[in-house]
Amino acid sequence: MLSDRTRLHIALQKSGRLSDYSRELLRDAGFRIQSGKNSLTARVENFPAELMFVRDDDIPTFVSDGVCEFGIVGQNVLEEFSAERTDLGYEVLAELGFGRCTLKLAAPESMPYEGPASLAGQRIATSYPRLLARFLRENDVDATIVTMSGAVELAPRLQIASFICDLVSTGATLEANNLRALDTVLDSQAVLIRTTRPMDATRADIAAGMMSRIEGVLATKESKYIMMNAPGEALKQITDILPGAEAPTIVPLHGRPGNFAVHAVCQESVFWETLQKLKAAGASAILVVPIEKMMM
Ligand code: PRT
Ligand code: ZN
């Protein structure tokens, strides 16, 4: 029995846009999560890990301080946290493909804008003051940053600022407030991060096990298992056509001398075009199936 001290701690957003996807990713990786949505922590039943449900803004701190070994957070929050730090205390292990959004400058339709230089001397409201400051610095523009913790899209109407810098996904919020999107400050999605604080050997082992399961889930999002029959002389050409497949398995077909079954995991999407090429090369009975789990 492992003691509590050898459990991994994984920081997830408690409730918000990333919560469901984060849990789903862990579930797909085979972790059985105990307890309901309202607790602050939950044990993983079948793996030595404990989930900590926190506000997304706290996740970078938890991971970089080593309170949690892992965390799932948006790049926007992560980069705002690290924008003026030298010792980050975390590393990004994987982009997760959900929680996509863009940190954008925006302004009322009537506001003239011809690129970042138009921001000179203006007031810009944002919840991301460090990322905005970095953008202004990179563009060599002086402007006043007004930090707001929410409802940034109201700033122009309230005459708090003439520009805003806020997250956009569908653009509906900007449209509803008669604002038009201008330049992009940051493209963002959720990422998996790991602390760079040292872990003891037992925990490091558990962490490696967890990573290989998660990498497996991420890999299967795109991967397919492909099977076909082919004559020996077509094998070279067929293996060259298979997209992103390393070392396919080739086995002789019983009762059909000179013919083989070819099985391979393709790391890239398999399109009809690929199947047609395989057929033209001599393959028959081609089957493409989704992969549910994979461990590298
Ligand atoms: O309580 P807690 O602090 O944990 O949550 P939160 O309210 O700070 O964050 P939450 O749940 O809103 O978002 C969590 C993360 O989801 C963000 O940090 C981003 O990484 C990501 N994300 C993806 C978004 C959006 N899309 C998004 N559209 N976060 C916020 N928005 C907001 C945006 O601020 C604006 O108000 O949605 C509005 C714009 O959306 P559209 O679709 O109208 O363009
Ligand atoms: Zn937040």
- Measure the N-to-C terminal CA separation of the chain; round to a whole number of Å: 27
Q: Is 169 in the pocket of ligand 1 (CB under 6 A)?
A: yes
Nearest ligand 1 atom to alpha carbon 14: 4
Which pLDDT score is estimated for 34? 82
- Give me ligand 1 centre to Cα 17, in Å: 6
- Give me ligand 2 centre to Cα 73, in Å: 10
Q: What is the DSSP string of 59-117?
A: HHHHHHTTSSSEEEEEHHHHHHHHTT-S---EEEEEE-S-S-EEEEEEEETTS--SSGG
Q: Which residues pair with 43 in a beta bridge?
A: 50
Q: Is 80 in the pocket of ligand 1 (CB under 6 A)?
A: no
Which pLDDT score is estimated for 37? 63
Top CATH class of 224-290 equals: alpha beta
Residue 39 near residue 53, CB atoms below 8 Å: yes
Q: How are beta strands 249-252 and 259-266 bridged, if at all? A: antiparallel
CATH hierarchy code of domain 101-188: 3.40.190.10
Residues with a beta carbon under 5 angstroms from ion ligand 2: 56-57
Which ligand approaches the C-alpha of residue 54 most closely? 1
Q: Is 101 in the pocket of ligand 1 (CB under 6 A)?
A: yes
By most ligand atoms within 8 Å of CB, the mutation choice from 167, 174, 179 for ligand 1 is 167
The span from the CA of 130 to the CA of 133, in Å, is 5
Nearest ligand 1 atom to alpha carbon 189: 20
Whose CA is closest to atom 17 on ligand 1? Answer: 74
Kindly indicate whether the domain formed by 8-98+190-220 is annotated with CATH number 3.40.190.10.
yes
Q: Is 102 in the pocket of ligand 1 (CB under 6 A)?
A: no
Q: Is 60 in the pocket of ligand 1 (CB under 6 A)?
A: no
Which pLDDT score is estimated for 2? 52
The count of other CB atoms within 10 Å of the CB of residue 60 is 23
Token duo for residue 108: 């009322």
Q: Is 16 in the pocket of ligand 1 (CB under 6 A)?
A: yes
Which ligand approaches the C-alpha of residue 16 most closely? 1
Domains of the chain, residue spans: 8-98+190-220, 101-188, 224-290
The span from the CA of 263 to the CA of 239, in Å, is 10
Which ligand approaches the C-alpha of residue 17 most closely? 1
The span from the CA of 40 to the CA of 28, in Å, is 22
Q: Is 149 in the pocket of ligand 1 (CB under 6 A)?
A: no
Q: Which residues in the chain show pLDDT less than 70?
A: 1-5, 36-37, 269
Q: Would the CATH topology of 8-98+190-220 be identical to that of 101-188? A: yes
Residue 245 near residue 265, CB atoms below 8 Å: yes
Whose CA is closest to atom 30 on ligand 1? Answer: 167
